[in-house]
Amino acid sequence: MTKWGKALFALVCLAVAVSSFAQTTGLKTNLLYDATATFNVGAEVAIGHHYSVDVSGNYNPWTWKDNTKWKHWLVQPELRYWTCSPFAGHFFGLHAIVGQFNIGNIDIGLKIPGTDFSNLKDHRYQGWAAGAGVAYGYALPLARHWNIEFEIGAGAIYTKADSFECDVCSRPTAQNIKKLRPMLTKAAISIVYLF
């Protein structure tokens, strides 16, 4: 990097640090989860000049018409490394995931690397999941106490579930289905309030 490039990088880091007003705690909600009617809340605490710990929790209790389900709860802790200072600018994360799900009778036909959601049209899956991943994100200060945060992550998820046919949904058609698959582990556009 050239001398001017280093100076520009230092100036950007300084501007981002000043604009964050040295807050040490944030509360957040992920708008992508909100769009799926999933209750979610996250909290983040700075633990140094470049590190923070983020924990989010998500809960969806809904069963819609025709026994359509996207029920789940999920907890996702994450250690973040910020390139400038916590709550502003670029960050890299290492996260874990644990939760339970009861999902099925959904016709979305979506295929994401590692997961084929088209199976959810005729089947319901009930079980638990655990995994880990890495993430990249960017926090953009909007005002003294408000940020918008963008994050994407990938990793591996281990699931253990029972499968049910949706027209019956009472007797398992397969039990103890175990899978370890690489997949998208985090996607977030969050509104953050800083203290």
**What is the full DSSP assignment across 139-178?**
EEEEETTEEEEEEEEEEEEEEEEEEEETTT-SSEEEEEEE
pLDDT digits (tens, 9 = 90+) for 132-151: 999 999 999 999 999 999 99
Assigned CATH for 3-194: 2.40.160
Per-residue pLDDT of the chain (195 residues; tens, 9 = 90+): 666 556 446 544 544 454 444 579 999 999 999 999 999 999 999 999 999 999 999 999 998 887 888 899 999 999 999 999 999 999 999 999 999 999 988 887 777 666 667 778 788 899 999 999 999 999 999 999 999 999 999 999 999 999 988 766 677 888 999 999 999 999 999 999 999
| DSSP bridge partners of 126 | 102, 162
Q: What does pTM read for this prediction?
A: 0.82
**Per-domain residue ranges of the chain:** 3-194
β-strand pairing of 51-60 with 68-82: antiparallel
Question: In the prediction, which pLDDT does 10 show?
Answer: 53
The amino acid that residue 85 corresponds to is: S
